[in-house]
Homo-oligomer: A and B are copies of this chain.
Amino acid sequence: MKKILNAPEAYVDEMLAGLVAAHPDYYRLHGDTGKVIARATPGRAGKVGIVTGGGSGHLPVFTGYVGTGLLDACAIGDVFASPSAEQMADAIRAADQGAGVLRLYGNYGGDVMNFDMAGDLVDFDDIACSTVLLADDVASAPPEEAEKRRGVAGMVYAFKIAGAAAEEGRDLAAVTAVAQKAADACRSVGVALSPCTVPQAGKPTFEIAEDEIEMGMGIHGEPGVWRGKLQSADAIAAEMMDRLLADMPLKAGDRVSVLVNSLGATPPEELYILYNVVKARLEGAGATIVMPLVGRYATSMEMAGVSFTLCKLDAELEALLQAPCDCAFWRVG
């Protein structure tokens, strides 16, 4: 395992300590579980809170997106492991400004069970909670079972859009509705070139030959839907776009944002090479690209690979996507 760390057990705690130390204007640790990050300056009273949670190892997801116009708090687990229900309940309490809290997170068994249990816990605190699950990974279930899909990089759009709606002062029902609309508008697919290592497991989650790629893998090193030979950038991008557009066809006049995301090790140089094909395909379908995102937005530590996410926009989603936001990893406006 070639990682820079002290003890595997300390990986997440030390990472969070460093995050808060480096960016005290953005983040603070909340509560005493040591695993809840909240905005350094809480949102104003009466603002709907937005909370997320999930495993570590995906920076900027999840904790990184705590910030103005984004999330209020986040419960963070071990690498690739859900936080506990107790931690989630703490995060919900940190996010609450008296107007209720939206739980906005990826569709994973452990997270769902724990966020459900956390909801029971905060019932005693009289905090109204709603839930929107991100389930954007087209590789993880056919369209008929779209609700079973995993949540991957599409959560970046959902955080941004829901965060802007909450910042604007909308109420819990309205923030929840637009978050659901954003979640429904996203489709993602990923490809991995190399695995990553969970510090405590001590070895890579999967093995892959020097000339192979894994299409449709998840962001926790879950195997993909097929494994094949490494192809040209154009061929990889074309297949990924085929899969996305088959699931969510676009027509002339559609407006769409696209996220070309590195899973970690893949450098921005390669993302820009891919972006040429992405742009040509979207414009070829007659769509207009709005605020394309190219970079590392949702990662799996040092995994090499990329994901593409499409987010189809109506006027409301587009305005919220372009509204200001600010965290240590992303600024708009």
Contact = CB atoms under 8 A, between A and B. Distances in A.
A322 to B, nearest CB: 13
A164 B218 CA distance: 42
Contact of A273 (B11, B64, B275, B331): B11
Interface in A271-324: 271-276, 279, 292, 294, 296, 299, 301-302, 304, 306
Interface stretch (A85-93, A128-136, A149-157, A229-237): A229-237
A50 interface: no
B59 A268 contact: yes
A50 to B, nearest CB: 22
A264 to B, nearest CB: 6
B266 A4 contact: yes
Interface in A139-170: none
Nearest to A56: B269
A228 to B, nearest CB: 14
17 contacts: A2-B194, A4-B233, A4-B306, A6-B273, A11-B269, A15-B269, A15-B272, A15-B273, A16-B272, A17-B272, A18-B279, A21-B279, A22-B279, A23-B294, A56-B269, A57-B269, A266-B302
A294 B57 contact: no
Contacts of A273: 4-6, 11, 14-15, 18
B272 A14 contact: yes
A54 B43 CA distance: 44
**Pairs of residues from A and B, 7 with the lowest C-beta to C-beta distance, nearest first:** A18-B272, A265-B265, A18-B275, A4-B270, A267-B301, A59-B268, A14-B273
A3 B234 CA distance: 12
A5 B59 contact: no
A2 B294 CA distance: 20
Copies in the complex: 2
Describe A's contact surface by its main secondary structure.
mixed
Given A18-B273, A272-B18, A275-B21, A265 B3 contact: no
Contact of A265 (B230, B232, B274, B304): B304
A3 B270 contact: yes
Query: Interface centre among A23, A60, A64, A265, by most B CB within 10 Å?
Result: A265
Given A2-B194, A5-B270, A264-B265, 7 more contacts: A2-B304, A4-B236, A11-B273, A18-B294, A21-B276, A56-B269, A59-B267
A210 B1 CA distance: 7
A102 interface: no
A264 B4 CA distance: 13
Given A15-B273, A272-B22, A302 B4 contact: no
Nearest to A18: B272
A5 to B, nearest CB: 5
B304 A271 contact: no
A62 to B, nearest CB: 12
A112 interface: no
A122 interface: no
A331 B57 CA distance: 25
A245 interface: no
A19 interface: yes
